[in-house]
Amino acid sequence: MLILNSYQLVEDAEFLEFYKNNKTKLPPPLLEKIDAFKFAEDQQRSLAADLMVRQFYAQELKVEWDSIQFEYNTNDKPSLKNINDHFFNISHSGNQVVVAFSNKEVGIDVEKVKGDRRKIAQRFFTKGEISDMRKAGIKDEQILYFYQLWTLKESYMKAIGRGVSMSLSSFAFKNQNDKFKLAFSAHDEDWCFYSPKWEDGYYLSICSKIENKPELRQINLKEINDQL
């Protein structure tokens, strides 16, 4: 199983109205977490992701959405508390919030293209990856290649549960006929990757043990509201 839920942020006014109407329904720890954010956009990203996870597993496990509890590993990767064989991972950037669900370990990353960041590659990517980036074409194509490679690396680190604790050059990707695979890694290499250009101006990558493309589901605020 590999499912990708995506959510696009609504205007602040619409979200704040939704939040105001539903605050009393939220578990106190979640309410405290959301209220800690200063800006409405950050509140919306965090709450949408949390509720997408809770509502997915409420249906999957036949439980109440507010009974879902989370725990975190030493690198802050979230998982379901006291529940095995159900895995998820969250990412957000700009107006996009995405959650990957699977029956095996999974990692996901979405990034908004925010200009030329190729200097990061010079510092942290492998020589082979830098060479492939330069071969991608003109400047704009190289920039897009960087973002795709960045999301691949992030999704892999999140899938294996290491996050930013591992070096970006301790593993490398190779593009073979527009399909990315690990060229080498000091860790588990038995992974599959899904890495499309996402919404306009975004790249997304999923690292999982599933060869098939994910089932895509678009979630909107009304759907979230109806399940509360």
What pLDDT, on the 0 to 100 scale, is given for residue 211? 87
More confident residue, 147 or 199: 147
Q: Read off the pLDDT of residues 20-30 as tens digits, 9 standing for 90 and up.
A: 999 999 999 89
What pLDDT, on the 0 to 100 scale, is given for residue 124? 87
Q: Which amino acid, residue 192?
A: C
CATH architecture of 109-208: Alpha-Beta Complex (3.90)
> Does residue 188 surpass a pLDDT of 80?
no
What pLDDT, on the 0 to 100 scale, is given for residue 77? 84
List the domain boundaries for the chain.
2-102+213-226, 109-208
DSSP E strands in 29-153: the ranges are 70-72, 78-80, 87-93, 96-102, 106-112
What pLDDT, on the 0 to 100 scale, is given for residue 79? 87
Examine domains 2-102+213-226 and 109-208 and report if their fold is the same. Answer: yes
Mean pLDDT of 206-223: 94
Q: Return mean pLDDT, the chain.
A: 91
> Does residue 162 surpass a pLDDT of 80?
no
Residue 72 pLDDT level (bands cut at 50, 70, 90): confident
Mean pLDDT of 180-208: 88
Mean pLDDT of 159-176: 82
Q: Read off the pLDDT of residues 94-103 as tens digits, 9 standing for 90 and up.
A: 999 999 999 9
Cβ neighbors of 169 (< 8 A, separation 6 or more) are: 124, 125, 126
**The length of the chain, given as a count of residues:** 228
Sign of CA dihedral 145, 149, 152, 158: negative
> Does residue 165 surpass a pLDDT of 70?
no
Distance between CA atoms of residues 180 and 74, nearest Å: 28
For domain 2-102+213-226, the CATH class is alpha beta
